[in-house]
Copies of this chain bind each other. A is one copy, B any other.
Amino acid sequence: MTQPVRTAPTLAEVAAAAGVSRSTASRALNDSPRISEETKKRVRAAAKEVNFVPNARGRALAVGRTEIIAVLVTEPLSELFSDPTYSEFLSGITEELSESSYLPVILQASSTHERNRAREHFERRSFDAVIDVSPYKGSELLEVLRELGVPTVLCGQLEGHPYRDVFSTVYSDDEEGGHFAALAMKDRGRKDIVAVLGPQDNPAVVDRLRGYRAVLGEDLPDANVIYTGWNSGDGYQAMHQILAREIAFDGVLCGSDRIAAGVITALNEAGLSVPADVSVVGFDDHEIAARCVPALTTVRQPLREEGHMAANIALDMIKGAEPTTTVMHMQLVQRDSL
């Protein structure tokens, strides 16, 4: 039943069918005010008749846009998939772009090979804009984007904001998140706090700690701050270290919900009850937070909304808008671990 492949109808055919010129047909379909209703109607009918859809390649060349936005990702695909943060964030971007005619492309940049490919695509002007999901890692590519003048949105802060005047930035206020978590501890009357954070070189970690400190002061001594990875295993191990020190503490601030899950496991194994003996607060509000026993009090980052925002800013920049900096707000999610 192989049907003969129709070769796609072009604007010229529509124009011929409607008895007008190509330019008039184009204007009619793009709803230009210079064309009479009468003619528009005729052209639209002709277009419907021959099943006309404007060719993406021709359009792209003429208007100087590909209507494609690259989402630059530094993590390898497997990590990308295992980290729910990205899923949420990418969904936000995709959702928002699906309202426009733009198409998001996930562009990986973990290996050198991939970065070179990415660079090549940038130079070819394959994309109208770039959304960089983990900008603190890909500085060479950022340099390229700057030179090429590609509208770019950075998700997350860059230390020192070297590109603030060229790129837009969207990030959650991590310091504020730290505030919220610390205030919750304080309100609960906790006075001897331990923090199990992510990697020390992560800007979000630095800001959150600053937030903790602003509220807790000496209740969170330097010695009680541990930097580690983001996973439950890391939290578990860190908690063991702390228990081994035999210091007194009644609260643990965690850099992620997964860390918190590991911390709770370690505490329970040591015979400590959460929240009776020790309060625990997480970060992120991923699925795992609600499933913890006890359910985890945590700080929610509006990831999906950040995705929406990033996509919109990218679209605006394509239209010529100036770079902007947008700060999203954190939120404390009260559950049972505090």
Contacts and interface: CB of A to CB of B under 8 A. Distances in A.
- For A81, A82, A98, A125, the residue with the greatest tally of chain B CB atoms inside 10 Å of its CB is A81
A55 B124 contact: yes
A206 B270 CA distance: 48
Contacts of A45: none
Contacts of A125: 8, 55-57
A319 interface: no
A149 interface: yes
A53 B123 CA distance: 6
Contacts of A108: 94
Given A3-B146, A106-B106, A149-B5, A124 B54 contact: yes
A77 to B, nearest CB: 5
Contacts of A98: 113-114, 117
A231 to B, nearest CB: 13
A101 B121 CA distance: 9
Contacts of A147: 3, 6
A309 to B, nearest CB: 18
A276 interface: no
A56 B126 contact: yes
B64 A57 contact: yes
Contacts of A214: none
Interface string A44-61: 000000000111111111
Interface of A: 1-3, 5-6, 8, 53-61, 64, 66, 68, 77-78, 80-82, 84, 86-88, 90-91, 94, 98, 101, 103-108, 113-114, 117, 120-121, 123-126, 146-149, 165-166
Q: Which 4 A-B pairs have the closest CB atoms?
A: A5-B149, A53-B123, A56-B124, A81-B87
Given A53-B120, A78-B88, 16 more contacts: A1-B165, A2-B165, A8-B123, A8-B148, A54-B124, A55-B124, A56-B66, A57-B66, A58-B61, A78-B91, A81-B81, A82-B87, A94-B108, A98-B113, A103-B121, A105-B105
30 contacts: A2-B165, A2-B166, A5-B148, A6-B147, A6-B149, A8-B125, A8-B148, A53-B120, A53-B123, A54-B124, A56-B126, A57-B61, A57-B66, A57-B125, A58-B61, A77-B90, A77-B91, A77-B94, A78-B88, A78-B91, A80-B81, A81-B81, A81-B84, A81-B86, A101-B120, A103-B105, A103-B107, A103-B121, A103-B126, A105-B105
